[in-house]
Structure 1
Amino acid sequence: MSGDEIVVLRNPGAGKGRHRGSLPGVLERLAAAGRPLRVLDADTPADAEAACRDAVAGGVAALVAMGGDGTVHLAQQAVAGTAVPLGVIPAGTGNDFATSTGVPADLYAAADAVAAALREDRGRRLDLARITALDGTVRWYGAVLAAGFDAIVNERGNRMRWPRGPVRYDIAILLELARLRARRYTLTVDGQTSTMDASLLAVGNTAAYGGGMRVCPDADATDGLLDIVWAEPISRTALIRIKPSVYRGTHVNHPKVHSLRAREITLAAEGIVCYADGERISPLPVTVTAVPGAVTLLV
């Protein structure tokens, strides 16, 4: 395998398939970098991640993820902590990592930016967050970890066999709102342990999740820190009122919403499975660590 290759991981179903025919145009623009191209073949997310790891271990010029946050998440598992840079072609529904890190919204413009960065041998060093589960499993994420109401909704939605499609998450929201209750968390923040009750809890490396909800609006992927945002126990009515303001990031002005910054946080709570970059990660407890400069982004 040539160390000069640009390897492309694509998800044809990302963004509800609306960019399915865009691959040839993206590859044409990436070819302007003057390097050979190879598209990875994978039938499942596990296969895709394994293919990315094999490519990076074998030596490549760059790994490019064409898809949404889930596709980028798979690529990050392979490039985190290595010298292999990451390119992002935003072809998903939310594209939160791309939006938060300055990747052009147009996928062809993003491909041009990746090619130019490779030609000019430049990139932006960005932090990633490293999750360590109780069993020692390590995962990386670039956007936001959810460990409160939104994670609970995701978990219920993923368990539902009917209806199919995104509408099941709308139903999951209604079902979980009906049984909304605060959860008791034990947090160890940079070595200091405390307990608290919270309805919402998110840990951000960058600002947004869920397709543009700026839950951690001040998170900065170059500061070596995590932004932790949580809401005290609140009523269903208050939660419904706060939710729209999350898209603007103004929810942090609500008197029951709080935030802090830390290099490392351990989260523990009963009965909660956390999600990062929209992907199911692990039941709590987990330890999340900010890793400065863990990835080079081609932008």
Structure 2
Amino acid sequence: MPKQVLVCINPVAGRGTSKKVLNDLLRYADLASIDFLVIESSKNPSILANLMSKVNLARCSAVIAIGGDGIVNQVLQAIAGKSIALYVIPTGTGNDFARSSQLLTLQPSKIFRTIFEEESDLIDLGKITHGAHQRFFGQILSTGFDALVNERANLNRFVSGKMKYNIATALELPSFKPIHYKIELDGKSREFHAMLFAVANGSSYGGGMQLVPHADRRDGVFDLMILHPVSKVELIKVFPKVFSGRHVNHPAVEFIKAKNVKILAKSVAYADGERISELPINVEIVPKALKTWISK
């Protein structure tokens, strides 16, 4: 059987970098007699999943996702729990999934050597249930101040990049109040107020922010992070420390482990940088749900 890969690409990621990477892959694949199928993503994740459902994945050696965490999240919806492996080429703004796998090369020869010569690993995924809808995520689900900033930033059509989130943070902070949560962790109820509440499968989000540095995508359990109420001045001090993971020893920060989480609050959920839904939601760990490569 000839070598074949399915490529899912966000053509606008990296301001042209994605297209250049794809062209480099195509040239190398032609020389190496590797068959290529290419699907472009859209803003509607169901469209990509529908297109992928029409592909005979059994004939493919791997799915390559070119872009950021958004395209990765779209691909997860189509291949979670299946035997095909995912290779991520990071050309987006976040790239936290690829960063967690420590596979950051853009060189075609190294990429194909990994796919065809190295063994893939199995990692866990998170599964979100909201009503009749289900969705998988690979990194972190957030529901607090950070999610509300994301929500506000997405309403800004005039500014892009980090500036958009800086503006959203400045606008959200004055009116923000600690959120009242009712949660259930593996069947045990708990109630509290918090600035942030996140469910982590991976360690980072937001382009390298180490929200839960000790999170392991292969341990079969979530690491939950709670930032209990602090003053807004203290929040401004604490939040930048997330980039390096130095927030973990702050007295208002709490970590818990759980496999099943039910969340009820007046807020919204984001996962892998994508809007999921308003709360309530249920979240469960799905062990060994995805085949992918992790740098040894």
Q: TM-score, normalised by structure 1?
A: 0.90
Say which of 113, 116, 123 aligns to 1:116. 113
Shift of 1:45: 3.6
Name the residue aligned to 2:48.
Answer: 48
CA distance in 2, matches of 1:91, 1:126: 22
- SS of corresponding position for 2:289: strand
Equivalence map 1:209-228=2 (5 Å) = 209-228=205-224
CA distance in 2, matches of 1:28, 1:67: 19
CA distance in 2, matches of 1:33, 1:100: 29
Say which of 266, 273, 277 aligns to 2:272. 277
Structure 1, unpaired ranges of 5+: none
The percentage of counterpart residues that share the same residue type is 37
Structure 2, unpaired ranges of 5+: none
Shift of 1:63: 1.2
Name the residue aligned to 1:12.
Answer: 11
Does the 8 Å CA contact 1:227/1:261 hold for their aligned counterparts? yes
Say which of 282, 290, 294 aligns to 1:295. 290
Does the 8 Å CA contact 1:190/1:263 hold for their aligned counterparts? yes
Residues 194 and 91 of structure 1, relative CA distance in 2, 3 Å threshold: same
CA distance in 2, matches of 1:254, 1:190: 26
Name the residue aligned to 1:21.
Answer: 20
CA distance in 1, matches of 2:170, 2:224: 26
Residues 116 and 214 of structure 1, relative CA distance in 2, 3 Å threshold: same
Residues 192 and 90 of structure 1, relative CA distance in 2, 3 Å threshold: same
Residues 14 and 156 of structure 1, relative CA distance in 2, 3 Å threshold: same
| Corresponding position: 1:106 with 2:83 | no
CA distance in 2, matches of 1:70, 1:274: 15
- SS of corresponding position for 1:185: strand
Does the 8 Å CA contact 1:3/1:60 hold for their aligned counterparts? no
Shift of 1:19: 4.0
Say which of 122, 125, 130 aligns to 1:128. 125
Name the residue aligned to 1:176.
Answer: 172
Of stretches 288-297 and 40-49 in structure 1, the one that deviates more from structure 2 is 40-49
Name the residue aligned to 2:70.
Answer: 70
- SS of corresponding position for 2:75: helix
| Corresponding position: 1:142 with 2:141 | no
Name the residue aligned to 2:88.
Answer: 88
- SS of corresponding position for 2:55: helix
Q: Which amino acid aligns with 2:141?
A: L
Say which of 196, 200, 224 aligns to 1:200. 196
Q: TM-score, normalised by structure 2?
A: 0.91
Residues 57 and 136 of structure 1, relative CA distance in 2, 3 Å threshold: farther
Residues 187 and 5 of structure 1, relative CA distance in 2, 3 Å threshold: same
CA distance in 1, matches of 2:99, 2:152: 27
Q: Which amino acid aligns with 2:211?
A: V
| Corresponding position: 1:238 with 2:238 | no
Residues 39 and 201 of structure 1, relative CA distance in 2, 3 Å threshold: same
* Number of residue pairs matched by the alignment: 292
Shift of 1:160: 3.3
